[in-house]
Amino acid sequence: MTVVLIVSGVMLLTAAVITAYRLLAGPNSLDRLVAVDTLIALTVCGVMVWAVYSRDTTLVPSIVALSVVGFVGSVSVARFRVADTPETRRAAAAATARTPHPPRGDESRDRRQGKS
């Protein structure tokens, strides 16, 4: 059993090193976001392997907390991610220009009173 846990730890460490390289060298922010999410998942797996090795069940709340933080962080960063390339920036700007904005307070009052 100990051999399996050691092999699991080595594999998780190898995956973390490869993921850290992608985090540092990633060509755009989406690659970096995926790398951070993967590192959080690897950390959760590492804590689980340690919990099995030490037979300590008090680590379960930390596993759940890391999972929730990883999920919420990934969703929030993905929601507000900024475009990376000039093409996607132009597309985002064009989509924003096509979206009608609500009138400001003075304009809506003038429209209600029939003024132009």
Residue type, 12: L
Residues with pLDDT less than 50, the chain: none
Place of tokens 């596993």: 63
Q: How is residue 72 written in tokens?
A: 């919420």
What is the DSSP code (8-state) at residue 84?
A: -
Place of tokens 């300590």: 56
Place of tokens 């990376």: 84
Place of tokens 């970096």: 32
**H/E segment holding residue 62:** helix 60-79
What global pTM score does this model have?
0.66
What would the pLDDT profile of 25-40 be if each residue is shown by its tens digit? 878 878 888 899 999 9
Residue type, 81: R
